[in-house]
Amino acid sequence: MYLENVVQDARDPHTVGHFWAAALGARVLTDEPDAVEARLELGPAGYLDLCFPRVAEPSGSPARLHLDLLGGDRRQEITDRLLGLGARHVDIGQGEVPWTVLADPAGEPFCVMETREAYRDTGPIAALPLDSAAPERDAAFWSALTGWVPTTGTPGIVSLRHPSGVGPLLELCPEPAAKQGKNRLHLDVRAERSDGDPVPTVRALGARLLEDPALPWTVWADPSGNEFCVLDAS
């Protein structure tokens, strides 16, 4: 299995999907009234698709997954460009920090990060920080699920990365509070034909099956309760 999608529930998929495609230089694959999908090419790491399905009302629960964008020496320039595309400054209680906190047109917070050695060769998305009740445990789970491997990242955060050393980090961050309600953003992994039936494998890794609809995916929760989907082999 491999990590394929970052999914953000959206009232207006067109507006938020095209914002992120422009922000990241991603190629729009699907542009329909109820869904927008854009592909970010990552070289040896393959690709990451950004998916924006329409929902009537996105969850109001505190965010547990967000995007950290590569900024570095160009942080102000990149911030200005994102503001021009429709982002806005937000205060989420971050205080004095060396990065910039913005919100996309749907109000979803994200960060433009300062220079960090760990962000070398990430591409425009530096990291995918995910709240975790037990970062070491959850890093082992996500590594077994996706094939991503431990990497040196920010002190106090357990980080994984594609084995090519290219593309964003998946950061398992100590959660500030226990999970409340559905996450607005989640990850999707894609099963490969060689995996066979992924359900027993994913369950054995410590995930909990939430939903097994008559659709080409199953809905799960990781050991900290964060939703993710396993997509059928293409």
Q: What is the pLDDT of residues 179-221, one digit of tens each?
A: 999 999 999 999 998 888 899 999 999 999 998 777 889 999 9
Name the phi and psi angles at 186, rounded to 5.
Answer: -145, 170
Residue type, 145: L
Q: What DSSP assignment string belongs to 33-67?
A: TTEEEEEEE-GGG-EEEEEEEB-SS---SPP-B--
Dist. CA 31–CA 219, nearest whole Å: 24
Nearest to 172 by CA among 186, 184, 185, 154: 154
Helices (H), the chain: 13-24, 75-85, 135-146, 198-204
The one-character DSSP state at 148 is: -
pLDDT of residue 94: 87
Tokens of 68: 């950290």
Dist. CA 168–CA 70, nearest whole Å: 9
Nearest to 153 by CA among 192, 112, 122: 122
Tokens of 96: 């004095």
Dist. CA 120–CA 70, nearest whole Å: 9
Q: What is the pLDDT of residues 146-160, one digit of tens each?
A: 999 999 999 999 999
pTM of the model: 0.96
Domain annotation for the chain: domains and CATH numbers: 2-231 (3.10.180.10)
In this structure, the chain runs to a length of 234
The answer to whether the CB of 183 falls within 8 A of the CB of 227 is: yes
In the three-class reduction of DSSP (H, G, I as helix; E, B as strand; rest coil), residue 206 is classed as: coil
pLDDT of residue 65: 98
The answer to whether the CB of 157 falls within 8 A of the CB of 172 is: yes
- What are the residue ranges in the chain where pLDDT is below 70? none
